[in-house]
């Protein structure tokens, strides 16, 4: 029930530091009893409200790793997004997540995959096995099974750049997909640049 409470506070954009500190302490004590959805919702709420709680994130990381095979794709992406949003790097957790995801890519939708790689790029995760995820996206695109929103193309472009340049990975995407993502990125950046000039 605590996960639902902090999730509701975050959905309403209502931070309550005392409540979040109390929930954090309780979740740390009870972390071995939390299910994947409760973990993901709790971490998502803390990140959404920018509520700093490194002890909570560190404490639940072992639980996430141990129960990773029971996490749904949304639970995983919300969890990684929360770590990335608050800037909590946890290389053991991220490596375990990528390894798990690679084995289940056929069950994941494009939106969740892109949210995952974008979040990993945002936190500058040093994962060693991200290339198969980009290969899967390429295969899905070439089979016309990958339909992306502009936001997803924007995020995919950022993740693709980071992993290829900064992460020294060889994450190739088809040229037409790369061009579409670049076009969305450039148009958004041009709009932001113009707005900043005004």
Written as six digits, the tokens of 92 are 């053991």
- pLDDT over 70 (residue 76): yes
Cα(196)–Cα(138) distance, rounded to whole angstroms? 35
Please report the pLDDT score of residue 197 as a whole number: 56
> By the 8 A CB rule, do 169 and 159 touch?
no
Q: Which pTM was predicted? A: 0.88
Output the pLDDT for position 188. Answer: 82
Structure tokens at 176: 């037409």
How would you classify residue 124: left for phi > 0, otherwise alpha for psi between -120 and 50, otherwise beta?
A: left
Residue 195 has pLDDT above 60, yes or no: no
Q: What are the pLDDT digits (tens) for 156-178?
A: 999 999 988 887 777 778 999 99
Three-state SS for 128-186 is: CCCHHHHHHHHHHHHCCCCCCCHHHHHHHHHHHHHHHHHCCCCCCCCHHHHHHHHHHHH
Q: What is the mean pLDDT of the chain?
A: 91
Backbone angles phi, psi at 69, to 5 degrees: -70, -10
Q: Which two tokens stand for residue 191?
A: 């709009």
The larger pLDDT score, comparing residue 60 to residue 124, is at 60
Half-sphere exposure of 43 (CA within 13 A, CB side): 33
Render pLDDT for 23-56 as a digit per residue (tens, 0 to 9).
Answer: 999 999 999 999 999 999 999 999 999 999 999 9
With tokens 């798990």, the residue in question is 100
Instruction: Report which DSSP code applies to 195.
Output: H
- What whole-number distance in Å separates Cα of residue 62 and Cα of residue 80? 14
């Amino acid at each position: 029930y605590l996960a639902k409470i902090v999730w509701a506070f975050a959905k309403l954009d209502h931070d309550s530091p005392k409540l979040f500190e109390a929930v954090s302490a309780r979740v740390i004590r009870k972390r071995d009893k939390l299910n994947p959805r409760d973990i993901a919702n709790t971490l998502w709420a803390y990140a959404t409200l920018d509520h700093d709680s490194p002890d909570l994130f560190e404490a639940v990381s072992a639980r996430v790793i141990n129960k990773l095979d029971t996490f749904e794709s949304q639970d995983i992406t919300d969890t990684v997004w929360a770590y990335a949003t608050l800037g909590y790097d946890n290389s053991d957790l991220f490596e375990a997540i990528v390894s798990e995801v690679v084995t289940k890519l056929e069950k994941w939708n494009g939106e969740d995959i892109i949210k995952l790689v974008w979040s990993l790029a945002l936190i500058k995760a040093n994962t060693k096995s991200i290339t198969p995820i980009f290969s899967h996206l390429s295969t899905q695109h070439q089979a016309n099974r990958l339909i992306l929103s502009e936001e997803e193309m924007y995020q995919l472009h950022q993740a693709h750049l980071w992993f290829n340049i900064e992460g020294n990975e060889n994450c190739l995407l088809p040229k037409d997909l790369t061009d579409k993502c670049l076009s969305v990125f450039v148009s958004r950046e041009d709009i932001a640049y113009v707005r900043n000039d005004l």
